[in-house]
Amino acid sequence: MTPAVPIPFNKPYLSGNETTYIEEAVRSGKISGDGLFTKRCHQFFEQQYGFQKALLTTSCTDALEMAAILLNLQPGDEVIVPSYTFVSTANAFVLRGAKIVFADSTALNPNLDVSTLEALITPRTRAIVPVHYAGIACDMQAIQALATRYNLIVVEDAAQAIDSYYRGQPLGSFGQLAAFSFHETKNIISGEGGMLAINDPRFATRAEIIREKGTNRPLFFRGEVDKYGWVDIGSSFLPSDIIAAFLWAQLESLDRIQAQRKALWQSYFTQLAPLRKIGVGLPMLPDYASNNGHMFYLTCTSLAERTALISYLKARQILPIFHYQSLHQSQFYASNHDGRVLPWADFYTDCLVRLPMYYELSTEQQQRVIGAVLAFYEKR
């Protein structure tokens, strides 16, 4: 028997025009930031999703760091972040001296549990950072109601949430600020890359300045000031136009990419649904949330079961991935955590596993993954 061809967890998809547009950018003679392709991408996002202002960044991490600077956090200010998330969601605010207050996930999916939020708010709370895990919307209406009542800023970590919706409204358009990722593991990619969406005019000009090393150069180029200089803190957060050229090719193919990913997600969901009878969890979409086909995950009933499943699949040349060690338990931040037990964050840390999901995953390959998962559970 010939050995099975490995099925990776992710494979970056090139939609076809990436190198053509990169050549075009190079030929234009301007490849630093805010060139032709960057402007096209900004316009696309503003028109397609109604963001008041879109600014490409070199990563979602950078977009979150820009958001943290925009908040003018003072040492001791508190920011509420789910524990079950990527490091950058919290680290961006820690860099500004903030204290992170961790929220637990819900039982139904890893998104933060809004019913626990109000008890976490203190006079020092400045912001809430909902993460739309797997592109599935958090309960934005409830979060915004709290934010309004307590005068808090909402920064959406929409890294996984491109082209996803809450009651028909695009994710990333709710928070005063929202951060997206175009890392090669996301739906729409540019290798590394990200975007800050700004939906509050108070932040618009300052965001441009922070992104341009603390200078008012963007205003100078628009003729709004007659010379530019150092006016604020900032850093170099803008990507080269070569990155934007790559991203533009992806955006042109957005509908096709999304349709394919959603179809893959749906066939995982339909064929693995019987596992729910034996306690395996499948992604749970509340009725207010759309699906953007970012990720397909299962939750096992224990860490031991997940470990066994992963080695069973790896032995069959299938590479599933688990991720996120709850941040309240992390080596770096555990000693700053207030000691609350966050059982659902711990549950997802131990039990969640992500199955291969990428545009070029063929029907035959996906059937191999599904067949192997079902076979693993039949044996048990």
Ligand X SMILES: *Cc1c(COP(=O)(O)O)cnc(C)c1O
Interacting residue ranges for ligand X, rule: CB under 6 A: 59-61, 85-86, 88-89, 131, 157, 159-160, 181, 183, 194
Q: How far apart are CA 17 and CA 15, in angstroms?
A: 6
Which C-beta is closer to ligand X: that of 59 or that of 292?
59
Q: Using an 8 Å Cβ cutoff, are 174 and 154 in contact? A: yes
Shortest distance, CB of residue 290 to ligand X, whole angstroms?
A: 17
Give the ranges where 82-200 is alpha helix by DSSP (H): 87-94, 140-150
Structure token pair of residue 213: 């090393």
The strand ranges marked E within the chain are 53-57, 78-82, 99-103, 125-128, 153-157, 165-166, 169-170, 177-181, 194-198, 297-299, 352-354
Please give the Cα distance from 31 to 25 (Å, whole number). 6
**Which residue, 358 or 376, is less far from ligand X as judged by CB?**
358
CB of 173 to ligand X, least distance (A): 17
Closer residue to ligand X, CB minimum distance, 14 or 87: 87
The alpha helices in 12-134, defined as continuous H runs, are 18-28, 36-49, 60-70, 87-94
Question: Catalytic residues, which ones?
Answer: 186
Q: Cβ of residue 297: shortest distance to ligand X, in angstroms?
A: 13
Q: Whole-number minimum distance, CB 163 to ligand X, in Å?
A: 15
Q: How many CB atoms lie within 10 A of CB 15?
A: 17
Residues in the chain: 380
